[in-house]
Amino acid sequence: MPVDPLCPAKRGIPSQVLTSGLEASQAVAREIADLIRLRESDGQTCVLGLATGSTPLDVYAELIRMHREEGLSFRNVVTFNLDEYYPMQPTAAQSYVRFMNEQLFDHIDIPAENVHIPDGTISLDDVAAYCDGYEQKIAARGGLDLQLLGIGRAGHIGFNEPGSTLDSRTRLVTLNDVTREDAASAYSGIENVPRQAITMGVGTIMQARRIILLAFGSSKASIVARATEGTVSESVPATFLHHHSNVEFWLDETSAAQLSLS
Ligand code: PGA
């Protein structure tokens, strides 16, 4: 089993440090492509958990390049995105539906019915049942083969903000101030950033068979060090990844600058 909450936390999470984010992103895209091809050769679907934000952009660009130039097909790929702001219309400029279409899905051959992104238009009355359904869809596809993650400056994974528990599942959450500040420029001011979001839970993420967390740039150096070398705690949800048996952080030299463990 990739996750066992009783599995003792490891001292440090394995990290790959490359000279640039681009180099790391291309290596991660190659791993994803290899997994897609392996699954296809076995006649199976490949279930990917995907992330938004600026960090995974070069991974998606490289996957598109491999689709165009190397014949990488996504016809056997099923995707589940981590999160979406709430409320959010899919056509809005800040929508993660729009982001994923523009950055990946519009450029590859993934069947539309294989794409899943939390729906920011669901009514408040229906959101809990909707989130349960999202979990059931992941389970019905056999679980996530690989989950791609970024990390927020306060240590969130997905929108699992500080205080999220190890067993949390897909749900409606309240965004914290650091997250809303970091989104402010995309919304022309923090007052326009939604206060809530739908996110896969920490427990949902932890059930992925493999997890790759990407973090690039000096603004992530402090949280990367806390997440990989600090004590496991709800106050930094990314530290829960210490309990996963197949997780890696892929970093550039600047985001790795405060790591002390070799
Ligand atoms: P970023 O966001 O990729 O835009 O830095 C990462 C995150 O908040 O998880």
Q: What DSSP letter does each residue of 85-111 carry, written as one string?
A: EES--TTSTT-HHHHHHHHTGGGS---
Please give the distance, rounded to the nearest whole angstrom, from the Cα atom of residue 139 to the centre of ligand 1.
26
Interatomic CA distance for residues 50 and 83, integer angstroms: 9
What pLDDT is attached to residue 149?
98
Specify the residue with its C-alpha closest to ligand 1, atom 8.
152
The yes-or-no verdict on residue 3 having pLDDT over 80 is no
Please state, rounded to an integer, the average pLDDT across all residues of the chain. 95
- State if residue 151 touches ligand 1 by the CB under 6 angstroms criterion: yes
Q: What's the average model confidence in pLDDT over 117-141? A: 98
The yes-or-no verdict on residue 2 having pLDDT over 60 is no
Q: What's the average model confidence in pLDDT over 165-176? A: 98
What pLDDT is attached to residue 168?
98
Q: Which CATH architecture has domain 15-252?
A: 3-Layer(aba) Sandwich (3.40)
Could you tell me which residue, 105 or 5, shows the higher pLDDT?
105
- The model's pTM: 0.96
The yes-or-no verdict on residue 145 having pLDDT over 60 is yes
The yes-or-no verdict on residue 161 having pLDDT over 60 is yes
Asked about 23 being catalytic, the answer comes back as no
Could you tell me which residue, 260 or 49, shows the higher pLDDT?
49
What pLDDT is attached to residue 1?
40
Q: Give per-residue pLDDT as tens, 216-245.
A: 999 999 999 999 999 999 999 999 999 999
Q: Give per-residue pLDDT as tens, 62-79.
A: 999 999 999 999 999 999
CA distances from 203 to 78, 165, 238, 243 (A): 20, 8, 12, 11
The yes-or-no verdict on residue 7 having pLDDT over 90 is no
CA 81 to chain centroid, in Å, comes to 7
- State if residue 217 touches ligand 1 by the CB under 6 angstroms criterion: no
Pocket mutation for ligand 1, best pick of 54, 99, 222 (most atoms within 8 Å of C-beta): 54
Interatomic CA distance for residues 60 and 205, integer angstroms: 20
The yes-or-no verdict on residue 183 having pLDDT over 90 is yes
Specify the residue with its C-alpha closest to ligand 1, atom 4.
53
- State if residue 53 touches ligand 1 by the CB under 6 angstroms criterion: yes
Could you tell me which residue, 240 or 262, shows the higher pLDDT?
240
Q: What's the average model confidence in pLDDT over 107-127? A: 98
The yes-or-no verdict on residue 6 having pLDDT over 50 is no
- State if residue 152 touches ligand 1 by the CB under 6 angstroms criterion: yes
Closest atom, ligand 1, to C-alpha of 55 = 3
Contact 90, 120 (CB under 8 A): yes
Q: What's the average model confidence in pLDDT over 96-115? A: 98
Closest atom, ligand 1, to C-alpha of 51 = 9
Interatomic CA distance for residues 143 and 188, integer angstroms: 37
In the set 70, 161, 229, 234, the catalytic residue is 161
